Every structure is written in C-alpha cells, then in structure tokens.
C-alpha cells in the first residue's frame, strides 16, 4: 500500500524542491519562484516600501537568506506576529577561491569543509558543483546561478587493501590533504587554472575573461526518492534544513487573509554559527520587522506591544531514533520517524522551548489533528543547537524549537518520514492561522 495521496504529494513536492536547490542560493531562488507564482512580490531593501493589509511580499539578503510575509488584517499591536524560522544552508564541501590543483596528470579541486558534514558520506558519490559566479558585464558585475547537472567531481575511497582497518576505525579523512576532488585528466601542456575558468564560464555562457569570482558548493546529483515497503520514507540531500524551509513556505503560501502578520524567515550560515549580515545572528529579521512595524503605522510603544504578543517557531530537524544504535539516545525521549513534529527541549537553552511555548505548540498540533513528540538529548552527549536561541535572544519574543525526525543528520544523503512532512506543514499552517 502506498502513502495516501496528500502525504505522497507533499513528500514529492519536497523532493522536487530539494532537487531544484543544490545550494543555498538555489534554495532561495526556488523559494522565490514559488512565492512569485503565488502572487507574492519581491521587495528590495534599498527601495522605499508601501505595505498594506493583506500584502504578500518577500525580501532576499545576501542571495541565500529570504524572509517572506503576509500582512495581517488586524492591528499588529493587538495580534503580534507569527514567525517561523529555518535555515537554507547545509554542511558539506565548498570550493576554495583558487581551487585547481594540477599534478600526477590529474586536476583536483581544493575544497573547504563547510560546517559539520559526515565527511565519509561524500566518498564514492556522484558529486557536482552548484552555486553562484560573478561575471563582468557592460553595466557592472552580475551574479549568476550556476549548476552542473552531470556528475563532475568525485572523492574515490581508498581501497580496503590499503586501508585494512576501515571497518573497525571508520573512514577518516584529512581535511587538507585527502579531500581534494578529482575533476579530470590534465593533458600535456594544459593549464588547470585556465581549464577550470573556461569550464565555469561556459556553464554560464560567458567568456572566461569575464569571470570574476565564485562561491560553489559540492552537491550530490542523485535525486531524492521515496523508499521503504510502503514508500513511507524520504531520502535526499539537505533535508536538514530544506525540509523545514519547504514546510514553512507551503504553510505561508496556504495562509489566506490571516488576522496576524505571518512570516517565514530562512537564513544562511546556520551551520557555521549564524554570525553574518544575512545569518540569524545578523540584523536581517529585526530590520524587516522594524520596517513592517513602521509601514503598519506602529509607534515605538505599539511595536513593543506587537513583539510581546508574537510567537516564534524555530524549525530545524530532530534526531529520529535509530534502532541499531539504542545507546546513542535518551531512552525516555525516543522520537520516531512518521511520529509527527518534535518539540526539542534543553534545560541549558540550546533550544528555546519552555513549558508555555511547548504547550502552545502542542495545542497547535492538536488543532491541526497531527501527533506530536518531545525530544531531549542524552545528558552525557553535547546537544546541538540552531537559530532558535539566536533569534529569540535578539527579538525577545516567546519561542519554541521544533522539527521533523531525521536519520543521518549531516550525511550527504539523509532520511526522514514522508508523513512527517505533511504533519509539519499542517502544524505550521495552524500556527499562521492562530
């Protein structure tokens, strides 16, 4: 038996969204395309804004962060805002500025580790490059998105005959010397640097001489899929955290004439600490909130009233229980794939959740008719964190950390529950309508 149609189609839409988004810059472009198709208009931070009740807009900062919002019908000082936050970036490998390495008749590309990926999962995968390049144009520099569709680079494993302990010790890779990716053979008299420039310029149909700079992420070309006896699971790259972005985006787009102003804020740089101009630790969300309040005619006093009545849901993936590794989990807080949205709690405030905000999210799940779970990390293991505490500390609004259960977080190929994705969309829709 297959999943019911609604669940199956939400999961398939997520797979399509991720397949269209091999880098955080592409994720923002994918979100933008969907928002434009739903009647949202793009605002520029450098222009003057005119916002009215019911207005549907979005703003992009730095190319990989985006905030979309729907202006509420009731006074903001009375309703506050409903905000869902997530992140667009995923851990992995990024090309260094001068990436081409020539030697032994081969060209390899030097990479930097971005955030905390499980490096071994990048070995023997069909990898490629996606991101953005800046080219010289007649009227100034232009940024172009770039994506190689075909498997372009590879990190072949070392044969077991030279690495006899690999199954006992695990695959350990030196980040400087053992991660460069093989790009191709280098012919007699060929220039690896020039070849790479030509390859990148050709991909954006421009001249190598016009190519100024680039930021390129390594991605896995294998498309996402449903798997399992009943196709009840999803496998894809970047489920952390494009699954939360997609859920919040769908929930926001489904919101029709809300009484409170609703916002979905997706940030770059979460995997590296969020401290950047476009990251959750920067001014992006507070700047956009200030402008929305100005446009809604709120004075300073009313802005504080609006913030005091607001609710922030930080959505990032949660660690699903893996029965092969029971010792890794807190035995009283096993969260199960397809068991519904997870409320993440940590007494040391690695998550923002408190008793009152957790209760509020439980009520939202109840009103949406979806199950809900609670997670706590083992006390003898360091707990992860996310944008929740960073945004909550900055805005001072009531917050909760939630997420869908995920296996293999930070693998190049993660797994989650198809049903969980529909559940999360429904819970976030309820939040926007509350």
Residues that bind Co ion (CB under 5 A): 240-241, 316
CA–CA separation, 389 and 412 (whole Å): 26
Q: Could you report how far apart the first and last alpha carbons of the chain are, in Å? A: 35
Give the nearest distance from C-beta 241 to Co ion in angstroms.
4
Closer by beta carbon to Co ion, 268 or else 316? 316
CA–CA separation, 339 and 345 (whole Å): 17
Closer by beta carbon to Co ion, 83 or else 135? 83
Give the nearest distance from C-beta 410 to Co ion in angstroms.
8
Residue with token string 């012919």: 187
Please report how many Cα atoms fall inside a 13 Å half-sphere around the Cα of residue 331, on the Cβ side. Answer: 2
Give the nearest distance from C-beta 12 to Co ion in angstroms.
22
Q: In this structure, what token pair is assigned to residue 281?
A: 């630790």
CA–CA separation, 19 and 219 (whole Å): 10
Give the nearest distance from C-beta 342 to Co ion in angstroms.
13
CB-based contact 27:239 (threshold 8 Å): no
Closer by beta carbon to Co ion, 101 or else 242? 242
Give the nearest distance from C-beta 353 to Co ion in angstroms.
16
Closer by beta carbon to Co ion, 70 or else 86? 86
Give the nearest distance from C-beta 23 to Co ion in angstroms.
16
Closer by beta carbon to Co ion, 244 or else 373? 244
Closer by beta carbon to Co ion, 79 or else 386? 386
> What region, left, alpha or beta, does residue 263 occupy, with left being phi > 0 and alpha being psi -120 to 50 degrees?
beta
Instruction: Please report the sign of the dihedral spanned by the C-alpha atoms of residue 281, residue 283, residue 285, residue 286.
Output: positive
| Residues 6 or more apart whose Cβ sits within 8 Å of residue 203 | 146, 147, 148
Closer by beta carbon to Co ion, 26 or else 108? 26
Give the nearest distance from C-beta 271 to Co ion in angstroms.
7
What is the three-class DSSP state of 51?
A: coil
Instruction: Please report the sign of the dihedral spanned by the C-alpha atoms of residue 386, residue 408, residue 250, residue 146.
Output: positive
Closer by beta carbon to Co ion, 107 or else 342? 342
CA–CA separation, 244 and 155 (whole Å): 29
Closer by beta carbon to Co ion, 241 or else 352? 241
Among 71, 115, 72, which Cα is nearest to 93's? 115
Q: In this structure, what token pair is assigned to residue 193?
A: 């640097």
Give the nearest distance from C-beta 185 to Co ion in angstroms.
38
Give the nearest distance from C-beta 386 to Co ion in angstroms.
6
User: Any idea what DSSP says for residue 228?
Assistant: S
φ/ψ of 155, rounded to 5, equals -120, 85
């Amino acid at each position: 038996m297959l999943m019911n149609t609604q669940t199956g189609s939400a999961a398939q839409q997520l797979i399509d969204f991720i397949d269209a988004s091999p880098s955080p810059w592409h994720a923002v472009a994918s979100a933008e395309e969907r928002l434009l198709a739903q009647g949202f208009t793009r605002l520029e931070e450098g222009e003057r804004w005119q916002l009215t009740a019911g207005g549907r807009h979005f703003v992009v900062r730095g190319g990989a962060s985006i905030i979309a919002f729907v202006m509420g019908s009731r006074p903001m000082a009375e309703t506050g805002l409903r905000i869902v936050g997530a992140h667009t970036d995923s851990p992995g490998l990024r090309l260094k500025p001068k990436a081409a390495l020539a030697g032994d008749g081969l060209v390899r590309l030097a990479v930097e580790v971005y955030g905390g990926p499980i490096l071994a999962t990048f070995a023997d995968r069909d990898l490629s490059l996606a991101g953005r390049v800046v080219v010289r144009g007649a009227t100034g520099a232009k940024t172009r998105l770039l994506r190689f569709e075909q498997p372009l680079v590879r990190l072949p494993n070392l044969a077991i005959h030279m690495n006899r302990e690999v199954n006992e010790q695990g695959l350990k890779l030196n980040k400087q010397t053992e991660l460069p990716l093989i790009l191709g053979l280098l012919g007699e008299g060929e220039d690896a640097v020039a070849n790479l420039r030509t390859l990148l310029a050709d991909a954006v149909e421009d001249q190598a001489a016009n190519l100024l700079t680039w930021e390129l992420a390594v991605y896995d070309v294998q498309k996402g899929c449903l798997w399992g006896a009943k196709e009840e699971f999803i496998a894809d790259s970047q489920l952390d955290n494009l699954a939360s972005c997609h859920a919040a985006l769908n929930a926001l787009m489904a919101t029709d004439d809300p009484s409170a102003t609703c916002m979905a804020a997706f940030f770059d740089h979460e995997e590296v600490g969020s401290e950047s101009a476009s990251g959750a630790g920067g001014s992006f969300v507070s700047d956009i909130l200030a402008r929305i309040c100005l446009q809604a005619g709120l004075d300073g006093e009313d802005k504080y009233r609006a913030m005091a009545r607001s609710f922030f849901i930080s959505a990032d993936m949660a660690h699903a229980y893996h029965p092969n590794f029971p010792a890794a989990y807190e035995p009283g807080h096993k969260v199960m794939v397809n068991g519904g949205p997870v409320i993440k709690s940590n007494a040391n405030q690695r998550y923002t959740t408190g008793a009152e905000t957790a209760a509020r999210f439980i009520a939202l799940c109840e009103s949406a008719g979806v199950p809900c779970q609670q997670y706590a990390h083992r006390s003898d293991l360091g707990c992860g964190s996310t944008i929740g505490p960073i945004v909550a500390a900055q805005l001072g609004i009531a917050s909760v950390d939630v997420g869908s259960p995920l296996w293999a977080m930070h693998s190049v190929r993660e797994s989650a529950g198809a049903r969980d994705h529909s559940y999360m969309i429904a819970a976030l829709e309820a939040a926007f309508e509350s």
